[in-house]
Amino acid sequence: MPKLDDVAIARALQELPGWQRQGETLVRDFKFKNFREAMTFVNRVAELAEERRHHPDITIRYNRVQLALSTHEAGGITERDVELARAIDALVAQSS
């Protein structure tokens, strides 16, 4: 899968509130009430990632979770990353 160009990434980010581009990665930070809620979220993201066979880098700090999406074999952001970001946003919306 080819990397997205800068215009395509900027367009995708307009539809992905909370996500930012950091170099060749899409990044979003999440904050929860406590560690347990953060871990529940991480486990749900893990299920999505396994279904799609596309795995984010996950950083957990107590009630904060950072997700970083990049397609390593393409060397940057691809449509797979954008699709996973959308799925994660849908997961968050379902939880609200």
Catalytic status, residue 29: no
Candidates 24, 54, 83, 89; catalytic one = 54
Candidates 47, 50, 51, 57; catalytic one = 50
User: Which residue from 17, 24, 36, 32 is spatially nearest to 85, judged by alpha carbons?
Assistant: 17
10's tokens: 């900027």
User: Which residue from 70, 35, 74 is spatially nearest to 54, judged by alpha carbons?
Assistant: 70
Catalytic status, residue 73: yes
Catalytic status, residue 83: no
pTM comes to 0.94
Burial class of residue 88 in the structure, from the number of CB atoms within 10 Å of its CB (0-12 exposed, 13-18 middle, 19+ buried): buried
In this prediction, the residues of the chain whose per-residue pLDDT falls under 50 are none
How much is the pLDDT for 94? 87
Candidates 55, 79, 83, 89; catalytic one = 55
Catalytic status, residue 72: yes
* H or E element at residue 59: strand 57-61
Structural domains of the chain, with CATH:
6-95 (3.30.1360.20)
Catalytic status, residue 37: no
* H or E element at residue 88: helix 79-95
Catalytic status, residue 55: yes
